[in-house]
Amino acid sequence: MAAYTLYLRMSGIIALLVLAVFADAPAKLTRDEAQKLKSPAAYSKKSIDRGRVIFMQNCTSCHGENGKAEGSLIADATDLTTPSLYKSGTTEGEIFHSIRDGAGDQMPAFKSQLGGEGDIWNLVNFIRSLWPESTRPPLQDDK
Ligand code: HEC
């Protein structure tokens, strides 16, 4: 009897743990859903600087340190400095989506590899800071 009660308690706890893990990681977004997303991170110097650090740690092997993907081992990595070359959209939500869920055949999903969605938004800001000045958003103060 005691063992059975313990078993029930344990399965309850495991179910809660499973819920907690999946609550943070909903399934892939559709492109429409992605377009509607609004970044919680201001396009600020602080956010761009944080994004740069994460980019240098996770993204340069394919996109290069300058984002241009020159000499990349994976020939098809997008030149992130030129918005007109993007295949999966250039709104903040679409860029977030490409990083979070992956893009094309070779861009990995980073959903569970970075510190959390906040850092994905910092990456979005860093990437936009690589664009030609006329296509960048105006620099903001931190929210
Ligand atoms: C294993 C190589 C690889 C790594 C590592 C990688 N990418 Fe990519 N990335 C790609 C490829 C290849 C594509 C082009 C996908 C396609 O064909 O649509 C791409 C596409 C993208 C796109 C979408 C551009 C478009 O065409 O719309 C963004 C944004 C992006 N990467 C950002 C990042 C960021 C930020 C990181 C680091 C967190 C990263 N990538 C790491 C290979 C990589």
* Domain boundaries, given as residue ranges, for the chain: 31-135
Q: What share of residues in the chain are helix, strand, coil (percent, to 5)?
A: 50, 0, 45
Write down the pLDDT at residue 6.
Answer: 60
Write down the pLDDT at residue 11.
Answer: 62
Per-residue pLDDT tens over the stretch 88-99: 999 999 999 999
- Rounded percentage of the chain residues whose pLDDT exceeds 70: 78
Is residue 13 over pLDDT 90? no
Non-local CB neighbours of 108 within 8 Å, separated by 6+ positions: 102
Contact 59, 132 (CB under 8 A): no
Is residue 20 over pLDDT 50? no
State the pLDDT confidence band at 18, using cuts at 50, 70 and 90.
Answer: very low
Ligand 1 and 77: CB distance under 6 A: yes
CATH of domain 31-135: 1.10.760.10
Ligand 1 and 129: CB distance under 6 A: no
Which of 63, 81, 91, 95 to mutate to test ligand 1, by most ligand atoms within 8 A of the CB atom?
63
* Contacts by residues 125-128 (CB-CB < 8 Å, ≥ 24 positions apart): 125/39, 125/41, 125/43, 125/44, 125/47, 125/48, 125/51, 126/47, 126/48, 126/50, 126/51, 126/52, 126/54, 126/55, 127/51, 127/55, 127/67, 127/80, 127/95, 128/43, 128/92, 128/95
Write down the pLDDT at residue 132.
Answer: 97
Ligand 1 and 41: CB distance under 6 A: no
For ligand 1, atom 18, name the residue with the nearest CA: 104
Per-residue pLDDT tens over the stretch 87-131: 999 999 999 999 999 999 999 999 999 989 999 999 999 999 999
For ligand 1, atom 43, name the residue with the nearest CA: 107
For ligand 1, atom 15, name the residue with the nearest CA: 104
3-state secondary structure at position 79:
coil
Say how many residues make up the chain.
143
Ligand 1 and 30: CB distance under 6 A: no
Mean pLDDT of the chain: 87
State the pLDDT confidence band at 12, using cuts at 50, 70 and 90.
Answer: low
Write down the pLDDT at residue 74.
Answer: 65
For ligand 1, atom 41, name the residue with the nearest CA: 59
